[in-house]
Structure 1
Amino acid sequence: MTLWILASPERSKIIILPIRDKKKVPLFVGELILRNTDAGPRPHKFKVKSDGKGEYRPPSEFIDLLRIADRIMIAKDGDEKQTSEFVEMLQGFQLSADLVNACRFCLLKNRFNFLNRRSIRYHRDKICEDCAREELYRMLKSSHVNYADEACQRFEEIMLKTKDLDRTMAMVSPEDLDRELTRFDSIAANTEVPTGKIKSLPLHKSFKKILLAKSETLLPVQSLSIENGLLKGQSQLVTSVTATGKTLIAELAGIENILRGKGRMLYLVPLVALANQKYDQFTKRYSPIGLKTSIRVGSARIKTAKNASMKRTLDSDIIVGTYEGLDYLLRTGSADLLGKIGTVVIDEVHTIEDSERGHRLDGVIGRLKYVAPGAQFIYLSATVAKPKLRAKQFGARLVEYEYRPVPIERHLILCPEHSKNKIMTRLVREEFATTSSKGHKGQTIIFTNSRRNCHRIAEGLPISAAAYHAGLTSQERKKTEIAFLKGKLPVVVTTAALAAGVDFPASQVIFESLAMGIEWLTMQDFLQMLGRAGRPDYHDRGEVVLLAVPNKKYSGDKGDTEDAVALKLLKGEMEHTKVEYGEDEQLEEVLASVAVTSSKNDLQNIHSSMLADFNVDYLLGKLAKNKFIHKKGDLVSLTKFGKIAAGHFLSVSKAFLIRDSVLVEQDPIVTVSNLEFFDSVYYKYANRISSALNVNLPSRVFQGASLDILFEGENMDKLDVTLRDQLFDFAADFLTCNCRDSPYCGCAERKFSEKIISIRAEGYEPEGIVKKLEYLYGITAYPGDVLGYLDNVVRNLEAVEMIASAYSKRDLSYRARSLRKQVEG
């Protein structure tokens, strides 16, 4: 057992702390008062405090305590006079003491701790780690922000790393960014895998010339792919982060297979925007060597003045399409029109795990394997949790390249909502002011959680910025893409939904939000978005910045807050998702597969190659019972009803709804507006209304409380005359039903959907429809959303038309056909 005595001199007394076995809490707290005698300073009074009580003890006991101590220490920076007298007193008893650096915060709490190299700077002084930690958490709790535990731990990590509490606490008000402290981690570039020479590849001469015009060498992942049999027809699952060269792998296989006479290339993508971009790229790149490119996406059904120039016929060498756009050909029995297929490319194949669209991608892959058994399948993704398992399921060889082509830094900034625009402005300007060694300016993508926020942020930044999302027309999106590619646009603000694939060579990615809609980003979503930062052909490094608002939630009172989610994403790993579908989705896929084969055995083979488990016998039995298919021994075929359902992507339940509406001869416009509402509509003057009513009005027209707020009491009287008249017209046209649950019964959305269809039938293009809605009702929408909705209306009207014909409802079929042609334009 060791005993230390620490003396802490104050102006009128000396605090005495007896320390046993180097513990921080003393045996007791003593107070010593000295007096001057002829022999020098001597103990006059000695009070011992313990358990909140004080007791005076004989001064001789204090001297005895000093004599048995293993070490006597005096805290530096104490009262100089008291320190001098205490030292003189010790000398009088032939004792000595060491001057020590003790934590002053500990002394104030009657504790003891040395200051050392681990001590923390605070107010031009140093305190021990324990006191710094206590002070940090005290300030965080008193900052009027309820930081998540994970965020508090992050602050603590930064404090311990920097040894500076003041600098750490400055992050609570992050307008003056300290990039050293916001940096969460750095990911080094890795190019250890050898790269091959393009000129040595066994490629068609004209194709090689195109490739050599861009580069003489292959990127690492491309070399790995070729080593694994890419040019020998080997199907592959290629997993590598964005900008490592996956697309060229698909082209190497697809274009060479075309030139060798092995068949066309089908290039499937999840988004119309991405399909448009690939169509433009392939057309420009390969038309000089005589290859034709065409596009197949859903919105091809709606004719507008601006989309007429795109080639959509199937007599092309390269067919780019959305998953559904190409599956439509299979579902309608038109697989023969695809001709000889040499290569099938499935871009962003991780979409197969999506709860809504996954079953359709799984289905189209299975059906394409059946109709093109000799084709080479190339699956591309930046985010696959268990790539070895997925490759085995796809029947492909895995080509995995785990490292980035350029280094990347990831930063976390915990900030209040009102600081975001100022922070983003600074980050965008600083990035745009840099130029890489390749001669490209730094450009930024900002991800947010909604389309409205895209515009709000883009308009709020005092620098040239553009909103970009699926609600815009393809022409608007293309204009933004070109401006960005030319380096003229510093920043694009987009949604998480467009994280995959669309080619914006950005050096910096900012997460303004960590949600998609009102749901937190998944790890896969986050990695897809993060992967957009840094391109080897353009940049020397990538920057990723997360702006997280402490205590912010997007739905409900439960669950994580944004600061906690940020740290989970930065520290997390992807989770493998088992692919499973509900019975309705399984029935739809089996029905779609009957369109490509009449053999029950072939159906079994198609669905055994898919990722989900299908009980084909059971599902065929149910489809037969409900008159979607005919069964005769081992042969199956679609009924008229089944053909319509399969070709129009109708679930079994949706097909029944259409059939029932046909049998009661419901007006086609009512049927299709009931099948799917158009509710992506917003108050054009939401800010003006909010200011006038002094409330925060939700911008979406059909969102919960917005209708209640507007039409409550005397609220309408507070608005200007024009706006009030527009809203009264809206109420008169759409809010006049007698349902008990009005306006939440669905009637308003249905009537509004009918209005959209009716305006289109008058000859208005999507942009014109939006302008008319703004004029009539003071509400607005995005032309791209209108276009997508009308495309679904066309398909549904066609289904109504055909089902009506199948049930001999000729007049109804004629009316559905007439309306369909008007909507198609």
Structure 2
Amino acid sequence: MEEATCRFPEWVSAKITDYYGEQGINHLFEWQINVLNEAIASENSENQHLIFSAPTSAGKSIVAELLAWKVASTGKKVLFVLPYISVAREKLHQIQRCWRRDDISVCGFIGPQSTNPNEWTGAVCTIEKAASLTNRALSEDWFQDIGMVVIDEMHMIFDSSRGAHIEHMLSKILLFNETSSEKIRIVGMSATIPELQRLGKWLDARVFEANFRPISLKNHVIIGSEMRKLKDITGEVLREFTEDPLITLAEESFRQNSQTLIMMSSKLDAEKTALSIAMRFHELKKTDGSMLEQLKKRADGLMFIRNGLERHGCKDRNVMAALAWGVAYHHAGLTMEERECIEMGFREKNIIILVATSTLASGL
């Protein structure tokens, strides 16, 4: 894993850098600094739209957050637009924890609630809520109070069902900017943006494309019992499994104290796989005391998750049985509260093996 070595820009408040420091982010990568410097290189550049693309885990979000904080610190409103409720909720909690240190109020437009525009400076919204909020700003004549709109997962503009909401919202901003002295800046980001240059031309935006990935990605495929490189599926067999490859790899991950995310195509498969892995761990503990040692380290965290699930009325015995071994599943059959408990457990590294369907995949 490559380490970040660049200091935060001088214009970032110490209160904000302290927050990131507490999250283990004390430095930025070179590509992040380059984008930030370009984005504020001159007074004029601070009004120019910005689109950037970088691989997953490269650190796109922090670039947008710092630029948004800079605008919000002047009193202008900032909108963060995210595609999914679970992702928007997580972003809301994170931005609130960070920006409250600088006395900047942040609210969420995620569920049915509505908030007076005088009560917030930052807003975290889903796509549809953001479109509705900008329409409201136009009708109530406070559109000029918005200083920046950040579009996360910018590739969603090409989505056949929801992309139109983003396109209409951005079109209104472009039209507003043509006649207003108060400009609204658009910042868009994604790991994969088709036709990046064309989109940049439409928005008249600065375009950045980084190929930097701090953690190397290795892709393999298992066919039957044989593992090969994804780019050479007819080539050398790297490994041959004598038992179920999925359960074997999950066991190895557990022993290495490394988290594993397993994606399945159905709720039933997710549950069956999670329970099979938990059953395997149960059998192994009879002959291997190190399995219990691993679980003892996470005992308090797993108990906290269990109590949270029970508090939300979870009666699913399978969930509790798997959780006892640091294993969980996540699918649409669980309530929103139950899924949030499991997501938190995985994020805080108490759940070691998480088997999920696309309900979690959308937030990756």
Using the size of structure 1 for normalisation, the TM-score is: 0.33
Give the AA of the match of 1:473. T
- Superposition pairs for residues 5-404 of structure 1, below 5 Å? 195-198=5-8, 200-213=9-22, 214-230=24-40, 233=46, 234-261=48-75, 263-297=76-110, 299-300=111-112, 312-314=115-117, 315-331=119-135, 334=139, 336=141, 340-371=145-176, 374-404=183-213
Which of 275, 282, 301 is matched with 1:459 structurally? 275
CA-to-partner distance for each residue in 1:624-645, whole Å, 9 max, x for gaps? xxxxxxxxxxxxxxxxxxxxxx
Give the AA of the match of 1:499. A
Within 2, Cα distance between the matches of 1:470 and 1:334? 37
Q: Is the 8 A contact 1:221 1:399 kept in 2?
A: no
Which of 230, 247, 255 is matched with 1:425 structurally? 247
State the shift of 1:313 in Å: 4.8
3-state DSSP of counterpart to 1:228: helix
Within 1, Cα distance between the matches of 2:169 and 2:360? 22
Q: Is the 8 A contact 2:36 2:67 kept in 1?
A: no
Q: Is the 8 A contact 1:267 1:344 kept in 2?
A: yes
Aligned length: 292
Tell me which stretches of 4 or more aligned residues in structure 1 moved more than 6 Å: none
Within 2, Cα distance between the matches of 1:368 and 1:272? 24
Q: Is the 8 A contact 1:421 1:460 kept in 2?
A: no
- Give the match for residue 318 of structure 2: none
- Give the match for residue 330 of structure 2: 468
Within 1, Cα distance between the matches of 2:175 and 2:262? 41
State the shift of 1:224 in Å: 2.3
Q: Evaluate the alpha carbon distance shift between residue 396 and residue 455 of structure 1 in structure 2; reply closer, same or farther with a 3 A threshold.
A: farther
Within 2, Cα distance between the matches of 1:380 and 1:360? 17
Within 1, Cα distance between the matches of 2:193 and 2:171? 19
Q: Evaluate the alpha carbon distance shift between residue 348 and residue 452 of structure 1 in structure 2; reply closer, same or farther with a 3 A threshold.
A: farther
Whether 1:481 and 2:357 are equivalent positions in the alignment is no
Within 2, Cα distance between the matches of 1:239 and 1:346? 12
3-state DSSP of counterpart to 1:409: coil
Whether 1:450 and 2:290 are equivalent positions in the alignment is no
Q: Is the 8 A contact 1:221 1:245 kept in 2?
A: no
Within 2, Cα distance between the matches of 1:286 and 1:338? 22
Q: Is the 8 A contact 1:350 1:381 kept in 2?
A: yes
Q: Is the 8 A contact 2:86 2:363 kept in 1?
A: no
State the shift of 1:397 in Å: 1.0
Which of 401, 405, 411 is matched with 2:214 structurally? 405
CA-to-partner distance for each residue in 1:765-800, whole Å, 9 max, x for gaps? xxxxxxxxxxxxxxxxxxxxxxxxxxxxxxxxxxxx
- Give the match for residue 750 of structure 1: none
Q: Is the 8 A contact 2:134 2:143 kept in 1?
A: no
Within 1, Cα distance between the matches of 2:273 and 2:242? 10
State the shift of 1:285 in Å: 2.1
Within 2, Cα distance between the matches of 1:389 and 1:352? 13
Q: Is the 8 A contact 1:204 1:256 kept in 2?
A: no
Q: Evaluate the alpha carbon distance shift between residue 338 and residue 204 of structure 1 in structure 2; reply closer, same or farther with a 3 A threshold.
A: farther
3-state DSSP of counterpart to 1:445: strand
CA-to-partner distance for each residue in 1:39-62, whole Å, 9 max, x for gaps? xxxxxxxxxxxxxxxxxxxxxxxx
Within 1, Cα distance between the matches of 2:276 and 2:93? 31
Q: Is the 8 A contact 1:268 1:347 kept in 2?
A: yes
Q: Evaluate the alpha carbon distance shift between residue 334 and residue 392 of structure 1 in structure 2; reply closer, same or farther with a 3 A threshold.
A: same
Q: Is the 8 A contact 1:197 1:217 kept in 2?
A: yes
Q: Evaluate the alpha carbon distance shift between residue 421 and residue 470 of structure 1 in structure 2; reply closer, same or farther with a 3 A threshold.
A: farther
- Give the match for residue 300 of structure 2: none
Q: Is the 8 A contact 2:265 2:357 kept in 1?
A: yes
Within 1, Cα distance between the matches of 2:261 and 2:142? 40
Q: Evaluate the alpha carbon distance shift between residue 393 and residue 492 of structure 1 in structure 2; reply closer, same or farther with a 3 A threshold.
A: farther
Larger gyration radius, structure 1 or structure 2? 1
State the shift of 1:362 in Å: 1.5
CA-to-partner distance for each residue in 1:501-539, whole Å, 9 max, x for gaps? 44xxxxxxxxxxxxxxxxxxxxxxxxxxxxxxxxxxxxx
Root-mean-square deviation over aligned CA pairs: 2.9
Using the size of structure 2 for normalisation, the TM-score is: 0.71
State the shift of 1:260 in Å: 2.6
CA-to-partner distance for each residue in 1:284-331, whole Å, 9 max, x for gaps? 22223222221112x426xxxxxxxxx955421210010101212344
3-state DSSP of counterpart to 2:269: helix
Query: Which consecutive residues of structure 2, in runs of 5 or more, have no partner in the other structure?
Result: 226-240, 279-324
Q: Evaluate the alpha carbon distance shift between residue 388 and residue 428 of structure 1 in structure 2; reply closer, same or farther with a 3 A threshold.
A: same
CA-to-partner distance for each residue in 1:91-138, whole Å, 9 max, x for gaps? xxxxxxxxxxxxxxxxxxxxxxxxxxxxxxxxxxxxxxxxxxxxxxxx
Within 2, Cα distance between the matches of 1:206 and 1:354? 38
Give the AA of the match of 1:356. S
Q: Evaluate the alpha carbon distance shift between residue 497 and residue 256 of structure 1 in structure 2; reply closer, same or farther with a 3 A threshold.
A: same
Within 1, Cα distance between the matches of 2:360 and 2:273? 17
CA-to-partner distance for each residue in 1:130-160, whole Å, 9 max, x for gaps? xxxxxxxxxxxxxxxxxxxxxxxxxxxxxxx
CA-to-partner distance for each residue in 1:338-393, whole Å, 9 max, x for gaps? 66112211000111122222222222222344456612211110012332222222
Which of 342, 355, 361 is matched with 1:493 structurally? 355
- Give the match for residue 791 of structure 1: none
CA-to-partner distance for each residue in 1:227-248, whole Å, 9 max, x for gaps? 3224752421111111111111
Give the AA of the match of 2:27. T
Q: Is the 8 A contact 2:16 2:98 kept in 1?
A: no
3-state DSSP of counterpart to 1:343: strand
Q: Evaluate the alpha carbon distance shift between residue 212 and residue 277 of structure 1 in structure 2; reply closer, same or farther with a 3 A threshold.
A: closer
Within 1, Cα distance between the matches of 2:254 and 2:106? 35
Q: Evaluate the alpha carbon distance shift between residue 347 and residue 228 of structure 1 in structure 2; reply closer, same or farther with a 3 A threshold.
A: same
Q: Is the 8 A contact 2:144 2:183 kept in 1?
A: no
Within 1, Cα distance between the matches of 2:245 and 2:80? 40
CA-to-partner distance for each residue in 1:798-824, whole Å, 9 max, x for gaps? xxxxxxxxxxxxxxxxxxxxxxxxxxx
CA-to-partner distance for each residue in 1:151-201, whole Å, 9 max, x for gaps? xxxxxxxxxxxxxxxxxxxxxxxxxxxxxxxxxxxxxx778xx95311x42
State the shift of 1:456 in Å: 3.6
Q: Evaluate the alpha carbon distance shift between residue 486 and residue 394 of structure 1 in structure 2; reply closer, same or farther with a 3 A threshold.
A: same
Give the AA of the match of 2:249. L
Within 2, Cα distance between the matches of 1:190 and 1:387? 26
State the shift of 1:413 in Å: 0.1
- Give the match for residue 438 of structure 1: none
Q: Evaluate the alpha carbon distance shift between residue 469 and residue 394 of structure 1 in structure 2; reply closer, same or farther with a 3 A threshold.
A: farther
